[in-house]
A and B are shown apart, each in its own frame.
Chain A
Amino acid sequence: MALVGDNGAGKSTLIKCVAGINSIDDGQILFEGNPVTIHGPKDAAKLGIEVVYQDLALCDNLDVVQNMFLGREIRDPIFRLREAPMEQRTAETLKSLSVTTIRSVRQAVATLSGGQRQSVAVARAVLWNNRVVFLDEPTAALGVAQTRQVLDLVKRLAEQRLAVVLVSHNLVDVFEVANRITVLRLGRNVGVYEKDKTNEREIVEAITFGAPAPEEVVA
Chain B
Amino acid sequence: MITRKALDRRTFLRGAGAAVALPFLDSMVPALATAATTVEKPVRMAFVYVPNGIDMRNWNPDYEGKLEALPRILKPLEGLKNDFNLLGNLTHNAGRALLDGAGDHGRCCASYLSGVQPRKTMVDIKASVSFDQIVANQVGAKTRFKSLEVGMEDARQAGDCDSGYSCAYTNNLAWRSETQPLPPILNPRALFDRLFGADAALSPEARKKRALYRRSILDLVSSDAKRLALDLGPTDQRKLDEYLTSVREIELQIERAEKDNARIDPGMDKPYGIPADFAEHFRLMTSMMTVAFQADLTRVATFLVTHEGTSRAYREIGIPDGHHPLTHHRNQPDLMEKVAQINTYHVQQFAGWLEKLKSIKEGDSNLLDNSMIVYGAGLSDGNRHLHEDLPTLMAGRAGGKFKTGRRIVYRRETPMCNMFVTMMDRMGVPVDHFGDSNGALEGLDLT
A binds B: no
Seen from chain A, the residues whose Cβ lies within 8 Å of a Cβ on chain B are none
Seen from chain B, the residues whose Cβ lies within 8 Å of a Cβ on chain A are none
